[in-house]
Amino acid sequence: MRTASHFAVGLGKREKVRRPQNPVKPKLAGRASGVFDSAGRTVDSPPVTKRRVGILTHHELEALAADGAIQPAVPFAPDQVQPTSLDLRLGPVAYRIRAGFLPRTEPVAERLRDLSLHTLDLEHGAVLERGCIYLVPLLETLALPHDVSGRCNPKSSTGRIDLFTRVITDAHERFDDVRAGYHGRLFLEIMPRSFPVRVQTGLRLNQIRLLRGRTRLDDADTTAEHGASPLVTAANGDAIEPSRLRIDGGFHLAVSLVPDPGSAIVGYRAKGYTGVVDLASIGTHDPLAFFEPIEATPTRRLLLEPEEFYIFQSRERVRVPLHLAAEMHAYDVGIGELRTNYAGFFDAGFGHGGSGELRGTPAVLEVRPHDVPFLIDDGQVLFRLEFHRTLMRCERWYGGPGSSSNYARQGLTLAKYFRA
C-alpha cells in the first residue's frame, strides 16, 4: 500500500514525498444528544469545544481533526475513528534499532542517530523478525489543546499475536502517554515476541484515547453504574450482585478454565519457530500452525511455563454502555512475574450493543509468565477493569452499524488473522 504523502524521520534529514491533490478533511461532527453527568443523568449536549471532564468520543475526535489538532498525513480511513479512540497507522519506514528507549528531554530523531541499524521500506511491505526491535513513525501528528492529553494501547489483534508495541513521543519519559498540549509526531516501538510478522504502511496496530481531566469512575460511581445497569455479568449473562464483586480501583476479574458449551478448549499456547503472520491478510492463517489448543483439566488448574505466550478468556462478561469506556489493567504485580493484558481498551458498546441488548462479552486475556512456572486456577483474579466517563454519549458503538469490529460477540477467540 502506497501513501500519497508522508514525512519520514531520517537521521538528521527530512524526506518529503508528494501530497494528495485534494486532501479530504474529516467531517466535523455536530452537536449530539445524550450527554451524561458524573451520576449518569442525561443533560443537554454542549458544543464540542466546551471544557468538560471525560474521554473524547468520535464527535470530539472528528472535530479536533477538522480543527488541525489531529493531523493525518493522508486522510483517515473510513473506520479509523472508533467510538472512544482513534486507530494509529504505520508510516512508510521502519527503523531497526539496537534497544528500546525513552527520549526524556530530546526529540526521538536525536536518539535514532545513535540507535538505528538500518531501515525497512514499509510501502512495499517488510517482515519484522521475532526478538528484534523496530521504531516506526506513525502517520498521525498531534497539536493538542493545552487541556487534552492521551493514552495509547495496542489494538486487540496486536495483543493476541504477542506483538509487543508501545508509543513514544518527543522529549517525554513515559511510554503510551501523551502529555497535555503535546505538539509533535507519534512513534511506535514494535517487537514481535512469538511470531515474525509482515507489516506495511497504513496498518493499524495501536490506538489512542484523548481525554480531559480525571476520567476514571471512583468505586462509589462504579458501584452505582453497575447497580443501574450491569457492567459485568456472569458467564450466563445474569447480573452479579455488587456484594459478590470486588470493586477496588475498578472490578477485579478472573480467568476462566471452564470451556464454553460444546468445546473442550480453555486456552491456546503460541508455538515456536512458526511461519510469518501477514497482518494485511485477514482470516487466512491456519491457527494450528501457530497455536496449540489447551484442553480443560479435571482439577481446573493449569501450569504455565516461563516465557510462553497464552490466550485465555475471562470468567465474567463485560458490558460497556454508550456513556462510558473501559480499560483493562494487570491486577497486581504482587501475584508474581506474570505479564497480562497487552491490549486494554474497551470501546462504548462492547458487550452491550446500541440499546443494551447484549448481556456481556468475555474479555480475552493475553498472559506471559516470567522467570518461573506459574500455576493458575479457574476463577483466579488476573486483571482489573476500570470504567471511565466520556464527554458525550456515543452515537457509534463497538459492533454497531459501519463498525469494523471483529470481536463484538467473541468467546475464546484468536486474532482476526486466523481462520475461525
343: left (phi over 0), alpha (psi -120 to 50) or beta: beta
- pLDDT confidence of residue 409: 77
Residue type, 390: T
Whether 219-389 and 41-212 are alike in CATH topology: the answer is yes
- pLDDT confidence of residue 127: 98
- pLDDT confidence of residue 338: 65
What are the residue ranges in the chain where pLDDT is below 50?
A: 1-51
Per DSSP bridges, beta strands 197-199 and 277-278 are parallel
CA distance 225 to 127: 45
CA distance 63 to 61: 5
Helix (H, G, I), strand (E, B) or coil at 49: coil
Summarize pLDDT for 151-184 with one digit per residue, the tens. 999 999 999 999 999 999 999 999 999 999 999 9
Instruction: Name which CATH class applies to 219-389.
Output: mainly beta
Cell numbers found for residue 355: 440499546
- pLDDT confidence of residue 371: 85
CA distance 401 to 414: 23
- pLDDT confidence of residue 341: 61
Bridge partner residues of 362 (DSSP): 317
The structural domains of the chain, with segments of one domain joined by +, span 41-212, 219-389
- pLDDT confidence of residue 342: 62
DSSP state of 47: P
The whole-angstrom distance between residue 99's C-alpha and the CA centroid of its chain comes to 23
- pLDDT confidence of residue 408: 78
What length is written for the chain? Answer: 420
Q: What is the DSSP string of 62-90?
A: HHHHHTTSEEESSPPPTT-B-SS-EEEEB
Q: Using the CB atoms, write b or e for 31-52: b if 16+ within 10 Å.
A: eeeebbeeebeeeebeebeeeb
Q: Can you tell me which residue has the cell 492529553?
A: 149
CA distance 163 to 365: 14
Superfamily of domain 41-212: Deoxyuridine triphosphatase (dUTPase) (2.70.40.10)
Summarize pLDDT for 256-281 with one digit per residue, the tens. 999 999 999 999 999 999 999 999 99
Run of H or E including 113: helix 108-115
Q: What is the DSSP string of 130-188?
A: TT-EEEEEEEEEEE--TT-EEEEEE-HHHHTTTEEEEEEETT-SSTTEE-TT-EEEEEE
Helix (H, G, I), strand (E, B) or coil at 46: coil
Per DSSP bridges, beta strands 204-212 and 54-55 are antiparallel
Q: Are 348 and 321 in contact (CB under 8 A)?
A: yes
CA distance 49 to 52: 9
**What spatial distance separates the first Cα and last Cα of the chain, rounded to whole Å?**
26
User: Residues 227, 228, 229, CA angle at the centre, nearest 5°?
Assistant: 95
Bridge partner residues of 128 (DSSP): 197
Run of H or E including 228: helix 219-228
